[in-house]
Structure 1
Amino acid sequence: MPFDSSAPPSGSRPGRDLRFEGRIAGFGTTSGTRMVLGLWDSSPFGRFADAMIEDARGHRILLAPSDEVAAFIAATYAFDEVRVLPVERRRIAGGLALDAPGLAVRLRIGPISPLGRVLRSVPPRLATHPGWLRAIDPVARRLQPGVRTAGSAGGGRREFYGVTVVRRIVWAEARFDGTDLGGFAQLDPPVRFGFGSAPREPSLVDVVTTIRERA
């Protein structure tokens, strides 16, 4: 691997909270491959997109747009393979597209889900606060099996997921390494990149992810 996966991002320091604001899309395919796409509008690395892929054999791949982003993500989550290459996202009619060398994803986004309407009623400042997310983690696990709002990440870090809106993904198609991944499906079984998975029901969530560096 051509980078040091333990290297912190520029300007990071022990005990600092690193904040990532954007969206996460998660879905499955009938081939058994599951995908989690990060679409970040604001982060310590600026605006970027990444793709986490787990195939039917359990092989986990990260696609990241720079060595620095790849190093940080690989030190926070677990992968069997890391590829550094351009990752581009854009809006299309009815949804989103994400493209990288070897990867093409198209998503059609539906309405806000019932859970999303409930989450939208929580003030954003509270909904994304690490203390709140730590407190509601047991509830989240019961309501959405595999989903966590707080937990331990790689490199001694702590991680907090503050979801403010949930929209359904109503259709998706993907090609990876020249192969059509098959029909659109639920994200099942859960992915194994970190301490929690994306929801089983394919979803696009508005999220603030806070990563707390080891003190």
Structure 2
Amino acid sequence: MSAATRRGRRLRFDGWIAGVGTASGTRLVVGYWPRSPWGAFADVMAEHPDGQRELLAPTPRVADFVASTYTFDTVTHCPVTVTPSATAWRVTAGPLRLTLTPGRRDLLGHVLRTVPRRVAVEPAWAAACDLPARWLMSGVRTRGSAGGGRREWYAALDHHRVTAVDATWDGAGLGPLRAVDPPVRFGFGSVPRGPSLTRVVSTVELPPEHPPSAQNLNRST
């Protein structure tokens, strides 16, 4: 059995994560992935004021994978589009219309940019960063166990504050920008409490593939 088989296949998603809260209590996490195993796509995770967790995903394949990795009460299939620019990120996803205003790169962003990418994407670096991330940003994890026996780790490469949002859900305004508080509960960790836009590479390791046992092989012959 090869080392790759023993550790399980790794899927890498290269893009951005935006995490914002609103005065209504709705908290939103937008994933924008220009590079992934399935090409470019975007998805939205929403936690509503009553605690219901909803995934907005563009295709059944994306929905199945994300819902098997994280935890949701509702999964909605709908087109999800993200149009990024230096002055505004515009998101359209089913009932959601969102415009967020990115700020300048903050101190954390400048620090993250000093780490070579080849180092940042390694599991060992994620492990080294996990405890400091918990101390500095409540609820944030850089590695953990995901659903379906999967493991996941994040490599943060840049970080910007979000300074404003304009958001509606089914036409109703969600109110002005607020902290992501309480933390979202989709997986093993939350996004930063402060509304932010993070350049990130997410790696998901699937469970190892187990070859058939000798007993099962004998039964099939």
> Would you say same fold, with TM above 0.5?
yes
Structure having the higher Rg: 2
Deviations 1:22-57 (A, max 9, x none): 000000000100000000011112100100000111
Structure 1 stretches (4+) deviating beyond 3 angstroms?
none
Q: Tell me which residue corresponds to 1:101.
A: 94
Deviations 1:107-147 (A, max 9, x none): 11110111111111111111121121022211111111100
Which of 16, 19, 29 is equivalent to 2:9?
Answer: 16
Which of 175, 197, 202 is equivalent to 1:204?
Answer: 197
How far apart, CA to CA, are the structure 2 residues paired with 1:54 and 1:161?
21
Scaled by the length of structure 2, the TM-score of the pair is: 0.89
Contact kept, 8 Å, 2:19 with 2:180, in 1: the verdict is yes
How far apart, CA to CA, are the structure 2 residues paired with 1:102 and 1:65?
13
Contact kept, 8 Å, 2:84 with 2:90, in 1: the verdict is yes
Q: Tell me which residue corresponds to 1:181.
A: 174
Q: RMSD of the TM alignment (CA)?
A: 1.5
Paired-residue identity, %: 51
Matched AA of 2:104: P
Matched AA of 1:204: L
Q: Tell me which residue corresponds to 1:156.
A: 149
SS at match of 2:14: strand
Q: Tell me which residue corresponds to 1:112.
A: 105
Can you give the 5+ residue segments of structure 1 that lack an aligned partner in the other structure? Answer: 1-12
Correspondence 1:56 to 2:49: yes
Q: Tell me which residue corresponds to 2:216.
A: none
Can you give the 5+ residue segments of structure 2 that lack an aligned partner in the other structure? Answer: 1-5, 209-221
Correspondence 1:195 to 2:188: yes
Q: Tell me which residue corresponds to 1:28.
A: 21
Matched AA of 1:177: D
Matches within 5 A, 1:70-149: 70-91=63-84, 94-149=87-142
CA spacing shift, 1:93–1:14, aligned 2, 3 Å: closer
Q: Which has the higher helix share?
A: 2
